[in-house]
Structure 1
Amino acid sequence: MRRMSLLLKLIITFTIILGIVLVCLAWILSMWFKVYYFKEKRTQFEQCISNVPSAMLTYRAKDSIGKGNEKDIDRLQTVVDALSGAVNAEILISDKDSSIILCSKFEENKKLKVLPIISEENMNSLLKGKSIEYVNDHYTYIYPILKDNEFQGYMIMTTPLSEINGQLHKIYLIIWISALIAMIFASSVLSLFSKKILINPLAEINNAAKEFANGKVNKRVYVKSQDEIGQLADSFNIMAESLEKVENNRREFISNVSHELRSPITSIKGFIAGIIDGVIPKDKEGYYLERVYSEIQRLTRLINDLLDLSAIESGKLKFHIRKIDINELIRLCVINNETKIKEKAITLKIKLLGQNCYVSADEDKTMQVITNLLDNAIKYCGNKGNIRISIFSKGPKVFVEIYNDGPKIKDEEIRHIWDRFYKSDKSRTNKVSSGLGLSIVRMILMQQGEEIWTDNNKDIGVSFTFSLTRYSSIKIK
């Protein structure tokens, strides 16, 4: 089943609402015009009466009309006939006994067949000088004729209701056709503008999302609008940039992992193949087996680092926060790296904070942080170089600084040193570093709510400083 488009739904909803509004408005206007038309008709009849000389309306019975008055009767007939044509109504003048004195020349098929019967109540109204009106198959207006405040008769003006309805139906037709045209016009305008400001931008975003699903992560949408659609487009572009960055990082990560894995595997394969094929002399096999073992250790370190990084990023790595002595951890790390320090004749200075300095942290993970930073300092420190480990506190925080007098880090490289597989000196560290150590350090500290940063010293050397929370400043659960 084909789904209804958003534009069609919008137009149908708008048309229904607009239709209801216009129908109600048209009905109200129709009723108003009907009342207005009858009011105007009554006003015409009243103006008609005002145009008949009052002296001409005071003739009583036929026997009161003498020969001398025939001229006045003719004048009255002429006036009544003219007014009848002007207001398109039949006009009759009756005496107080309901005898017709005079009637206008009106179309025969539109004339009253029977004079309206005036009820006693309405007759009393006429006697008091009040006009009355009827609406049945004719619209009839009856006006009393008074002389010296005495009732002399009445004047009847009547128009067929079918003729009035005919005029009203024309007005109704104009109103309803106008409402229909307005509805069609409004729906067309809505369709045009909705397509331009709503449907087309949404379609562009939808198409971009489909291309994203097909792997085109560089796709962007360009919607120049300050409304919710524009905000949606901006959010989409922000999401697209993030996804593109993630995708690029993923590809770079896979490329780096593949390269790092291929290098030791190729070396191991070459050495073992040489031993099997007899290319390597028997007295050299031990040396090359040591090289194979070294490459296997390197491969193991890389895999372990990858597993640690993956566990930290996925949140699966559990931290056991407890009270630990940071001074003791630093002593242990120095002892573990004593051989490397002596091989390069490095001068190591340690400045601890008191006899014991207790912090709240995960002991194993903090040990890994210190080990990685110390190992990094040893690698970049030259022979007979200097390394300094200092501990200081500020408020509830304890800070550990590890300094080495090796080469400074270039300003453009400082923000990249925390990236996975980044190596500032690839030629020197390719065999001994996986490029994941600093990334793991930063992730471990961030997971514990701590910070780490690096600074180039003014003269020479680089220092790495990270924070820990003093044990006495929080309650351990």
Structure 2
Amino acid sequence: MIRRLQLALSAAVRALKQSKWLRSFYVKVFMSFLLTCAIFFVSLVAFWNYYFTDLVYKDKIELLSSRSEEVVKLLSSQEEGSLSVRELKLGVRLIGRSFTGFVWVVDENGTLDSSTNDSPNTVIPKTLDAPFMWALRGESGHTIVPKLDEKSPDTSFLVYYKPTAVNDKRYIIFMLLPVSEISSAISAFRLNLLLPLVFSLLAVAFILLLISRRLAGPLRRMNLAAEAMTQGDFTVRVPVQSKDEFGSLARSFNVMVDQLQQWEDTRKEFLATVSHELRSPLTTLRGLIVALSDKLVPEDQVDRYLAICHGEVLRLQRLVTDLLDLARIQNGGGEERLERVRLEEKVGEVLEVVSTRLHEKRLELRTMLPAAGTRPLVCTLDPDRFVQILQNLLYNAIQFTPEGGTIRLSLQQRGDEAEIIVADTGIGMDEEQLSRIWERFYKADQSRGLHTEGTGLGLTIVKHLVSAMKGTIQADSRKGEGTTFTVRFPLVKPDPRR
């Protein structure tokens, strides 16, 4: 039976250890605080119990010592003849009653003195032999004996012994006090001490329960919100109910959820846009290929349809290339080949590349570059990426500027930075369009029904490239007047020794 109880208890302990309830932060906080308070209260009870017990015993010992002096005085008075034997016995009996004990006056042979006891010539119990021998050596003190005789086997006594001599006659005075008298006082004190402490501990436990729930509440709510987020629900929020660290944590958690929801929405929008951008040319190609294979296209139109197919393939190629380029840039690919670049030289190279497109569209190009002989503008850049930035901005200006328009390119020093401005006299944008030009796949021309060859990723790539090379870019535009892009890069500080 006992073995079964032990096994059941062990199983219960293992179950508690594995319980999710015991592993919760709320229970750990509560139990930690409660255990700390319990240890404090137990220590307090132990200290006061020891202190009061020691105080009571010291008080009783002092009382017995003072009463033994009174017994000595009575013995001296009786020897002098001023006190009768009857009065001596009565006085000794009254002294014993004063401390709820009794007094034994013993001669040097270990027998009770006939003048102070109703049972003369009685030998003291053997339990008092040790203090009797100590008193014969002239020592006084106290001890506790478990019992005096077989008549009182369960009664312990506090014994105070004191040697004295009256007219050259030696006596040993034993002051015997039942320990039960002291224990009753100590028990009453312990009860009066324990009851308030127990109620205080219960009150503290209740307060700790409330505090622990308040501390663990935000964490529990955040855990539930996190579990909901793992299921794809980004609408959950943690209520902010305080201004402390937990309130700050809840606010930060909500901001994180907002950001995750925004990223999720962006991801979904990105996938939908990519699918649309890929589907359109693929649908066109499929329709044209089916028409060509079924001989539905007149022979004189075959070359034209093949040119359209080739254009759609090039569009797909540009889209895939831009997507891969954007992915590399966002992963830090734009910072792999940083070196000192003379901006005037690179600007000249780019202008040579785009000059053909400018002439084809009959656009006027106005440039404003540093004068010859001035200190060249040098920045730490990736030269290929810088060329890509400038080409994208110029091609963008060419694309949205009607024939006969003007494009202006300027390069100058502005404080500690090199400033490149690309401005056009094109169709421009309103404020809503201007705020979205850095978004992936956004095309400002779509709302106006214009056909362009762009993928909607060019300005997004430009933005990431400029930021990757520690530069800044901003755009200003007015509808019907044109658009201006301003790019700034930090200049390399000149060597003062040169």
TM-score normalised by L of structure 2: 0.76
Distance 1:408 1:83, change over 3 A: farther
The equivalences for 1:62-77 within 5 A come to 64=81
1:221 Cα deviation from its structure 2 partner: 1.3
User: Which one of 369, 391, 396 corresponds to residue 376 of structure 1?
Assistant: 396
Aligned length: 457
1:246 Cα deviation from its structure 2 partner: 1.3
Q: Distance in 2 between matches of 1:48 and 1:344?
A: 129
Which stretch of structure 1 is more off in the superposition, 396-405 or 23-32?
Answer: 23-32
Q: Which residue of 1 aligns with 2:113?
A: 99
1:175 Cα deviation from its structure 2 partner: 5.4
Q: Which residue of 2 aligns with 1:256?
A: 273
Q: Which residue of 2 aligns with 1:195?
A: 213
Which stretch of structure 1 is more off in the superposition, 303-312 or 418-427?
Answer: 418-427
Q: Which residue of 2 aligns with 1:335?
A: 352
Render the CA deviation track for 1:316-365: whole Å, top value 9, x for unaligned: 45632334443343333333333432344322101112346554422221
Distance 1:324 1:96, change over 3 A: closer
1:193 Cα deviation from its structure 2 partner: 2.6
SS in 1 for 2:78: coil
Q: 1:457, 1:463 within 8 Å by CA — same for their partners in 2?
A: no
* Equivalent residue letter for 2:283: T
Q: Distance in 1 between matches of 2:377 and 2:246?
A: 56
Q: CA RMSD in A?
A: 4.2
Q: 2:89, 2:115 within 8 Å by CA — same for their partners in 1?
A: no
1:125 Cα deviation from its structure 2 partner: 6.5
| Structure 2 residue 53 is the aligned partner of structure 1 residue 34 | yes
Q: Which residue of 2 aligns with 1:464?
A: 485
* Equivalent residue letter for 2:395: D
Distance 1:430 1:460, change over 3 A: closer
Render the CA deviation track for 1:289-336: whole Å, top value 9, x for unaligned: 322222222222111111100111122456323344433433333333
| Structure 2 residue 447 is the aligned partner of structure 1 residue 433 | no
User: Which one of 293, 296, 299 corresponds to residue 276 of structure 1?
Assistant: 293
* Equivalent residue letter for 1:196: R
* Equivalent residue letter for 1:40: D
Q: Distance in 1 between matches of 2:61 and 2:159?
A: 9
SS in 1 for 2:176: strand
User: Which one of 442, 463, 470 corresponds to residue 449 of structure 1?
Assistant: 470
Distance 1:295 1:459, change over 3 A: closer
Render the CA deviation track for 1:29-88: whole Å, top value 9, x for unaligned: 2221221111232354467689x7998665324x9478xx68xx56x7667656644531
Q: Which residue of 2 aligns with 1:161?
A: 179
Which stretch of structure 1 is more off in the superposition, 15-24 or 365-374?
Answer: 15-24
Q: Distance in 2 between matches of 1:84 and 1:407?
A: 121
Q: Distance in 1 between matches of 2:127 and 2:308?
A: 132
User: Which one of 132, 136, 156 corresponds to residue 145 of structure 2?
Assistant: 136
User: Which one of 62, 73, 88 corresponds to residue 100 of structure 2?
Assistant: 88
Which stretch of structure 1 is more off in the superposition, 395-404 or 165-174?
Answer: 165-174
Q: Distance in 2 between matches of 1:229 and 1:151?
A: 84
Q: Distance in 2 between matches of 1:90 and 1:353?
A: 121
Distance 1:359 1:37, change over 3 A: closer
Q: Distance in 1 between matches of 2:400 and 2:118?
A: 125
Q: 1:405, 1:462 within 8 Å by CA — same for their partners in 2?
A: yes
Q: Distance in 2 between matches of 1:187 and 1:17?
A: 11
Distance 1:324 1:152, change over 3 A: closer
Which stretch of structure 1 is more off in the superposition, 158-167 or 371-380?
Answer: 158-167
1:418 Cα deviation from its structure 2 partner: 1.4
Q: Which residue of 1 aligns with 2:6?
A: none
Which stretch of structure 1 is more off in the superposition, 444-453 or 182-191?
Answer: 182-191
Q: 2:225, 2:238 within 8 Å by CA — same for their partners in 1?
A: yes
* Equivalent residue letter for 1:281: P
SS in 1 for 2:487: strand
1:190 Cα deviation from its structure 2 partner: 2.9
Q: Distance in 2 between matches of 1:177 and 1:188?
A: 17
SS in 1 for 2:444: coil
1:472 Cα deviation from its structure 2 partner: 6.4
Q: Which runs of 5+ in 2 are unaligned?
A: 1-17, 147-156
Which stretch of structure 1 is more off in the superposition, 290-299 or 352-361?
Answer: 352-361
Q: 2:158, 2:179 within 8 Å by CA — same for their partners in 1?
A: yes
Q: 2:340, 2:380 within 8 Å by CA — same for their partners in 1?
A: yes
Distance 1:472 1:160, change over 3 A: closer
Q: Distance in 1 between matches of 2:389 and 2:415?
A: 22
Distance 1:253 1:115, change over 3 A: closer
SS in 2 for 1:425: helix
1:389 Cα deviation from its structure 2 partner: 0.3
* Equivalent residue letter for 1:89: G
Distance 1:104 1:34, change over 3 A: farther
Q: 2:418, 2:490 within 8 Å by CA — same for their partners in 1?
A: yes
1:19 Cα deviation from its structure 2 partner: 4.7
Render the CA deviation track for 1:221-279: whole Å, top value 9, x for unaligned: 12423444334323322322221121111111111111222222222223333333444
Q: Which residue of 2 aligns with 1:420?
A: 440
Q: Distance in 2 between matches of 1:8 and 1:164?
A: 43
Render the CA deviation track for 1:407-448: whole Å, top value 9, x for unaligned: 444334444221212223323455422211111011112222
Distance 1:189 1:471, change over 3 A: closer
The equivalences for 1:198-347 within 5 A come to 198=216, 200-316=217-333, 319-347=336-364
| Structure 2 residue 412 is the aligned partner of structure 1 residue 392 | yes
SS in 2 for 1:29: helix
Q: 2:101, 2:175 within 8 Å by CA — same for their partners in 1?
A: yes
Q: Which runs of 5+ in 1 are unaligned?
A: 106-111
TM-score normalised by L of structure 1: 0.79
Q: Distance in 2 between matches of 1:304 and 1:55?
A: 120
User: Which one of 60, 78, 96 corresponds to residue 78 of structure 2?
Assistant: 60
* Equivalent residue letter for 1:232: L
Q: Distance in 2 between matches of 1:146 and 1:237?
A: 92
Q: 1:420, 1:436 within 8 Å by CA — same for their partners in 2?
A: yes
Q: Distance in 2 between matches of 1:376 and 1:115?
A: 115
* Equivalent residue letter for 2:208: L
